[in-house]
Amino acid sequence: MAFALMGTAAIAQQKDDGGYSIYDSSVIRAKSLPQQTEFMANNYDYPAKPRNMWEVGASIGAFTISGDVSPEWFTMPNFSVHVRKALGYVFSLRLQYLNATGKGLNYTAAQNYYKNPAWTTSLPVGQRYMTIGPDGTINDQAGNTQGNVDFVFYNYKAKVQDLSLQGLVTLNNIRFHKNKTALQIYAGGGIGGTLYQTKINALNSNGNTYASAFNTIASKYNYGGWDSRKDVKKDLKAAMDDDYETDAENQGRRRKHLGNNTFRPSGSILFGVAFKLGKRINIALEDRHTFIKDDLIDGQRWQEHPTGDASLTRDYDSYNYASLGLNFNIGGKSVEPLYWLNPLNYAYSELNNPKHMKLPKPVLDDADGDGVTDQFDREPNTPAGCPVDTHGVSLDTDGDGVPDCKDKQLITPTECQPVDADGVGKCPPPACCDSLRAAPVSACPTDYPSVNFRNGSASISSDAKAMLSTVAAKLKANPNCSITLNAYPEASKASQALAQRRLDAAKAYLVDKEGISTDRITTNSEIGGGDKNTVDISSN
């Protein structure tokens, strides 16, 4: 309940942003700032490692001892506390303290316990269990004998503490197809030291043995077994108190002690899954198994054979702690622990949307040198010196198929086409009589050329002057004819103003330079009616 309340409060204050800014120098240690400076200046490829938070946590869980006595699964109190620090995006160190209580109760009866002092010599004379000695007699190792062996059911209560330093490896935070994950999978191992004190329940509240109860239960269930285990344990718990008053067999003076606790070095392996609830809080499910070179954590190390002179059991004891933990990340001016971050985030982000990358200046090839890059050039092999349009195609003002740069007759009337290789046409002889009889309107020319202007300019170029001179010659040859200058601006006011200046410039050239009467020339603007840089000339 306390874990749930703390978690709810922390979640309410946290918002996970999924990472950190690579450009935030406030999370960089002072000694790493030179590297960050070089990175920002594009002189070094790698940003400095950010300062990351510490994780502190606590857990509760199920503690069991794997030994020679059947364990009880639900014991308490069992808890741990730890502090963890990431050394990189994958590896981290954790210092953990564990305090747990393990219990066990066998459901099979034993009688070859002569070498186990907890059931014999550790008890007062007269309150000992009778077992078979090496000489085959049934005695209490104090000179007292009887005809039948007392059965015992091995049991224990062990208080275990350990302190271990563990190396943890995060298995799934380096992700190639996703920004981040709220699920962390980790595994690891560690070394440390274990303290334990084990006691057995050998005497009842009156200081007497359970020999009578044990013998009755052993006889009732034929010494016990897997099929009767639940009934055996039920009867045993009903017959016994819960006071573990007798010291179990221990290593005595052969091993270091701290107070009443035996000390042994230990090693652990673990596997866990953590679920992120926010940037500063997560919960973890973990299973940790600890190995210790000692066979007396459960207070029992003797086999049932050979009778009277028991051999040691084969394996050492170990213990397991399966837990649910609540962890908090602490620290200011720091990113969350690196094992929660994906180190590929920055690389992928920069590749997709470059912000820091030094990109080379783009090179746009123009093989024919006409001013239009090859990517957009519709005529990639335009001869040198030939003027082109915006698509890189050579200009052909009169549309006779010969580009202007090779056309010896720049304006060839339509009726004189087709033309020869030099752009010179062959005009048909005039129909004298028909021309004289034709109405004046039908005699006016209709094949006036267009005038092109440079983009954004209203100045009359030399080519445009040549076009206007041709127009003027036709007007002078037909004094009764008049023309209209047509421009095609875009919808913007600026484009319309530019179109009007071009119309005025063309009209002024015809009036001032070519001597055409101003009343023979009208102007017209049509938005979107044609090329915005072209002025067409039509007969009225």
Q: Which tens digits make up the pLDDT trace of 436-474? A: 555 455 578 988 999 999 999 999 999 999 999 999 999
- Name the residue with higher pLDDT: 382 or 423: 382
- Residues 365-392: what's their mean pLDDT? 88
Res 256: pLDDT? 66
Query: Of the given ranges (248-262, 473-487, 499-513), which has the lowest mean pLDDT?
Result: 248-262
State pTM to two decimals. 0.66
**The pLDDT of residue 61 is above 70:** yes
Q: Write out the residue limits of the CATH 3.30.1330.60 domain(s) in the chain.
A: 444-539
Q: Which CATH fold would you assign to the domain 2-19+53-107+153-200+223-348?
A: Porin (2.40.160)
The architecture of the domain spanning 444-539 is 2-Layer Sandwich (3.30)
> For residues 253, 72, 74 and 120, what is the CA-based torsion angle, rounded to 10 degrees?
-40
What tokens does 1 get?
């309940």
Res 16: pLDDT? 43
Confidence of residue 525 (pLDDT cuts 50, 70, 90): very high
**The pLDDT of residue 18 is above 70:** no
- Residues 264-283: what's their mean pLDDT? 97
Average pLDDT, the chain: 90
Long-range contacts of 403-409 (CB under 8 A, 24+ apart): 404/463
- Measured CA to CA, the distance from residue 114 to residue 152 in angstroms comes to 11
Main-chain phi, psi angles of 36, to 5 degrees: -65, -40
Res 13: pLDDT? 38
Confidence of residue 27 (pLDDT cuts 50, 70, 90): very high
* List of residues 6+ apart from 207 with CB closer than 8 A: 124, 127
| Inter-residue contact 304 to 310 (CB < 8 Å) | yes
Res 453: pLDDT? 93
Confidence of residue 6 (pLDDT cuts 50, 70, 90): very low
**Alpha-carbon radius of gyration of the chain:** 51
pLDDT in tens, 326-347: 999 999 999 999 999 999 988 8
List the beta strands (DSSP E) in 371-444.
none
Q: Write out the residue limits of the CATH 2.40.160.20 domain(s) in the chain.
A: 2-19+53-107+153-200+223-348
How far from 19 is each of 14, 346, 349, CA to CA, in Å?
A: 13, 9, 12
- Residues 101-126: what's their mean pLDDT? 95
510 secondary structure, DSSP code: I
Res 255: pLDDT? 63
Token match 């960089």: residue? 28
* List of residues 6+ apart from 291 with CB closer than 8 A: 266, 267, 268, 316, 318
**The pLDDT of residue 386 is above 60:** yes
How far from 481 is each of 25, 282, 471, 503, 539, CA to CA, in Å?
A: 79, 91, 11, 19, 7
- Residues 110-125: what's their mean pLDDT? 94
**The pLDDT of residue 505 is above 80:** yes
Res 20: pLDDT? 82
Q: Count Cα atoms within 13 angstroms, Cβ side, for 153.
A: 31
